[in-house]
Structure 1
Amino acid sequence: MVEDRTVMRGRVTVYSVPGCAHCIQAKATLRALGVPVCEVDVNKHRELRARLKELTGLSAVPQIFFNNLFVGNNEDLQNLVRQETDPERLERLVLSVREDPVPLDAPPVPEEHSLDSDGELDGAACELSEALRNLILQLYSDHLSEDGKRVDYKAMSRSPFFERYCDLAVHLQRVDLLSLSREEKLAFFINIYNALVIHGNLRLGFPKNIWQRYRFFNYVSYFIGGEVYTLQDIENGVLRGNRKGVAQLLKPFSRNDPRLQVALPDVEPLIHFALNCGAKGCPPIKTYTSQDIDSQLRAAAEAFLENDDSCVIDSAGREVKLSQIFKWYKADFGGSDEKLLNWVFEHMGASQKKRTLQALLSEGKVKVSYLPYDWSINSTD
């Protein structure tokens, strides 16, 4: 559990309409700044459109307020972030939202979109997930290597965005997981898993041996929707449809465990190319969105298989050398060498490597072996 150390007392109100590119960019920027965003759809709440025009003299969206201070539109916000005119103004605005409660003359918001009594986001899973994703995206942008394989843990631990992420993660306990669709669940839990690994490494240190790894993945957890979810629970319980994990004797969730309702009905093999356990042998770290999660995961698998650290085709030896991930979770890929190789072939992108594998498979029996796994920490140090 993470203690809620810093509570934003105010709010940022964004008047917008669905599908507006400028509105989407503005909201992403604000959430990356770590401020609580109250979005008001003026198409849905037309009674507020006239009132808004009275306040600002404008009808275009987005229109952005820090408490009762009108900042302007998306372009004005981006100029603020770039600090082109007054370098200290943005800092003052964020400070006002952090320290000052919402004043009586703040712009109007419909009741169902209001913030909770602490001035934080409400418990809607998708909204909280998106806010967390944007913070994670900012952290990754600042502290990940270009290939997504290494993390600057020391710098991230000092980041105000990490502090804001820790504060916001407390509110995971209020998320209604049963309201999530399959796609929302995939994106939500993949993003949370990868962030939780980093959070755990920063708080507890990186596990250095098999026993420490076992404890780490069975101990590091978030309180989500009223239940505790460890890293093992997220990966094997939810995303693998409640299957036994590596070195586990039992399934993560028993028949009467309420978390079983959250588990995917079937295993999704593609998650193995999105989850990063903090080791150099893992796939790159990215963030995922529910809108096209399946194509994103397939692209991650293609990139993983194209990398010679994960898949090597030895034509002369009639051998395919794969990441240990395929050995540990072989059941997810069909259970036999033949089914595994067919799965690999079907999920490769169009490349010379795929054509080489196709030629081998057409000629008959192919040997499968597994590459050494690099368990060293994925730190930039």
Structure 2
Amino acid sequence: MQGRITIYSTSGCPHCKAAKAKLVDLKLEYVDVNLDDNPDFRSKMIEITGKRTVPQIFFNNIHVGGNDDFQKLTEEELNKLTNEVKTNPVPTDAPPIPQSSNSKSGTNASASLQSEIDENANLIQDFNNSGIIKDQRQMLTVYRNVFSGSDFVSFIMENKKTDRKQAAEMAANLYRLHFLSNVHAGDAFNDDSTLYRLLQDEPSNALNANVSVDVKPLPASELAVLLRKQILKLYGEFLSSDGKCVDYDGIKESDLFKEFVNLTGQLQRVNLDNMSREEKLAFFINIYNALVIHGNVEVGFPSSTWQRYKFFNCVSYRIGGLNYSLQDIENGILRSNRKGVGMLTKPFSKSDARLKVALDKHEPLIHFALVCGAKSCPPIKTYSSDGIMDQLKCSAESFLETEDGCELDTKKKIVKLSKILDWYKVDFGENTGKVVEWVCECLPKCEKKDQLTKMIGDKNYKVQYMPYDWGANKKPKSGL
């Protein structure tokens, strides 16, 4: 082949995988520019295509478009494009590619899974085997697997051969590092009768609660990115060639998933103190999106309203010593403790320790970065604190420029919006008109933006919210 087929893609994108599968079936070689691995190429792709979704496919310098455009090509059109790259060399105005590109996407996250053993883990293990931890009754309540602060300090004095003051300082440091927690909650460690419990003994249904943590946890932002890349790699490997379903059972049995689960254990002791707004946004968006897939693997894909309610309220990770469900992350943290769909109260009470982690002000753009079932994917799947607002805006633009997010019927004067904009209307404006104005402002420069601007100016339009497709993408078992 004299020329080049170029495809801009992201890891775990079903539409990208379907396009690549068709190229393979056609026995056509291609260069895959993975935007997760080459983030500098996102803006280049947008500049030359005017599109913010992936995949974007080129035959030499001829822009085919996305997966839907590619799949709809007639035999005659496809033959013409194939002939173009087989007979003509790559033109100078062909889309740019990295110096080292190939047709394999994804990031080898496994290479980064090695972490330093935490020297404190041995002390905690010795304490766990000391016989000091017992069940204790206070009033009418029995507390399982607990110990007093004073007993813990005494153990450290004996184990480390130090005085009580130094032992108490060591105990307080272990408390800050989330090796233990206060049974009744509290911000500081006390060398008295206050009851504590080791992290591994804390009652929890979190998906990472029973994972041992004997390594020093990575910095929060770095850990979240690594987890997200790892789960996207898994998702991509077990995604069907047509991009329509995922073999979650296969994921669960894979060694790569076991590595991922072990990595989630580090979240239990990760430090969330002093994180900036940008760091919180990137961290919790990445964790939310990884947790959704982890939940699908371990719990199953929710197929009814009641199952969805349980899924989003019960599927959780233990992060920094506290439990965070999907509902807690979205509505408690990222929406600055606002009621979610169907919620009667706010996620966090005034005394909830997680409230201090929540954003000071809600961020409406998060709704286009959290996992959704759109027919096209944004060119960003993993978020970083550096440039997070530009990344979120790009994801919002990519969603709203498709028919999944916003569709206009200019003849009937109807603005059709995603149900997401109805469910979380309060985040976008005080009324429907303000929501439409927010959408118009967020849209990139395109014909749709011009049309919507005119409709708003004429003040002659109706708004409809499109049904949300909750359909599962789980691969059916053989024989069913």
Q: TM-score, with normalisation over the residues of structure 1? A: 0.66
Contact 2:213/2:266, CA 8 A, preserved across alignment: no
CA distance, structure 1, for counterparts of residue 436 and residue 242 of structure 2: 26
Matched, 1:346 2:441: yes
- Superposed CA deviations along residues 258-290 of structure 1, whole A, max 9, x for unmatched, are 10000001110111001116x568976822111
Matched, 1:31 2:109: yes
Aligned residues: 278
Corresponding residue for residue 234 of structure 1 = 329
Corresponding residue for residue 219 of structure 2 = 124
Corresponding residue for residue 370 of structure 1 = 465
CA distance, structure 1, for counterparts of residue 329 and residue 312 of structure 2: 10
Q: Match of 1:171, SS? A: helix
Matches within 5 A, 1:203-282: 203-276=298-371, 279=373
- Relative to structure 1, is the Cα distance of residues 236 and 148 closer, same or farther in structure 2, using a 3 angstrom cutoff? farther
Contact 2:228/2:289, CA 8 A, preserved across alignment: no
Bigger Rg, structure 1 or 2: 2
Tell me by how many angstroms 1:143 deviates. Answer: 4.1
Corresponding residue for residue 319 of structure 1 = 414
Please point out which of 193, 198, 206 is paired with 2:293: 198
Matched, 1:181 2:309: no
CA distance, structure 2, for counterparts of residue 299 and residue 149 of structure 1: 24
- Relative to structure 1, is the Cα distance of residues 309 and 126 closer, same or farther in structure 2, using a 3 angstrom cutoff? closer
Q: Equivalent pairs: percent with the same residue? A: 51
Corresponding residue for residue 32 of structure 2 = none
Tell me by how many angstroms 1:209 deviates. Answer: 0.8
Q: Match of 1:369, SS? A: strand
- Relative to structure 1, is the Cα distance of residues 141 and 375 closer, same or farther in structure 2, using a 3 angstrom cutoff? closer
Tell me by how many angstroms 1:155 deviates. Answer: 3.7
CA distance, structure 2, for counterparts of residue 281 and residue 128 of structure 1: 29
CA distance, structure 1, for counterparts of residue 243 and residue 216 of structure 2: 29
- Relative to structure 1, is the Cα distance of residues 133 and 204 closer, same or farther in structure 2, using a 3 angstrom cutoff? closer
Matches within 5 A, 1:64-83: none
What residue identity is the alignment partner of 1:163?
K
CA distance, structure 2, for counterparts of residue 145 and residue 363 of structure 1: 46
CA distance, structure 1, for counterparts of residue 245 and residue 287 of structure 2: 18
Q: TM-score, with normalisation over the residues of structure 2? A: 0.53
Please point out which of 257, 268, 273 is paired with 1:162: 257
Matched, 1:355 2:433: no
Q: Match of 1:179, SS? A: coil
- Relative to structure 1, is the Cα distance of residues 212 and 281 closer, same or farther in structure 2, using a 3 angstrom cutoff? farther
Contact 1:280/1:375, CA 8 A, preserved across alignment: no
- Superposed CA deviations along residues 313-346 of structure 1, whole A, max 9, x for unmatched, are 1111111001100000000001211110110001
Tell me by how many angstroms 1:299 deviates. Answer: 0.7
Higher mean C-alpha deviation, range 327-336 or range 285-294 = 285-294
CA distance, structure 1, for counterparts of residue 288 and residue 300 of structure 2: 16
Matched, 1:305 2:383: no
- Relative to structure 1, is the Cα distance of residues 322 and 233 closer, same or farther in structure 2, using a 3 angstrom cutoff? same
- Relative to structure 1, is the Cα distance of residues 118 and 370 closer, same or farther in structure 2, using a 3 angstrom cutoff? closer
Contact 2:284/2:334, CA 8 A, preserved across alignment: yes
Contact 2:331/2:347, CA 8 A, preserved across alignment: yes
Contact 2:336/2:360, CA 8 A, preserved across alignment: yes
Corresponding residue for residue 294 of structure 1 = 389
- Relative to structure 1, is the Cα distance of residues 148 and 241 closer, same or farther in structure 2, using a 3 angstrom cutoff? farther
Contact 1:327/1:370, CA 8 A, preserved across alignment: yes
CA distance, structure 1, for counterparts of residue 319 and residue 406 of structure 2: 36
- Relative to structure 1, is the Cα distance of residues 247 and 283 closer, same or farther in structure 2, using a 3 angstrom cutoff? farther
Q: Match of 2:387, SS? A: helix
In structure 2, runs of 5+ residues without a counterpart are: 1-105, 117-178, 180-211
CA distance, structure 2, for counterparts of residue 282 and residue 274 of structure 1: 13
Corresponding residue for residue 136 of structure 1 = 231
- Relative to structure 1, is the Cα distance of residues 307 and 379 closer, same or farther in structure 2, using a 3 angstrom cutoff? farther
What residue identity is the alignment partner of 2:217?
D
Contact 1:33/1:161, CA 8 A, preserved across alignment: no
- Superposed CA deviations along residues 158-210 of structure 1, whole A, max 9, x for unmatched, are 33222111111011110111232111111111111111111111111111111
**Higher helix fraction (1 or 2):** 1
CA distance, structure 2, for counterparts of residue 237 and residue 255 of structure 1: 12
- Superposed CA deviations along residues 281-311 of structure 1, whole A, max 9, x for unmatched, are 8976822111111111111111101111221
RMSD of aligned residue pairs (Cα, Å) = 3.0
CA distance, structure 2, for counterparts of residue 312 and residue 203 of structure 1: 36
CA distance, structure 1, for counterparts of residue 337 and residue 376 of structure 2: 22
Contact 2:416/2:464, CA 8 A, preserved across alignment: yes
CA distance, structure 2, for counterparts of residue 149 and residue 179 of structure 1: 41
Tell me by how many angstroms 1:148 deviates. Answer: 8.5
What residue identity is the alignment partner of 2:459?
G
What residue identity is the alignment partner of 1:165?
F
Corresponding residue for residue 60 of structure 1 = none
Tell me by how many angstroms 1:362 deviates. Answer: 1.5
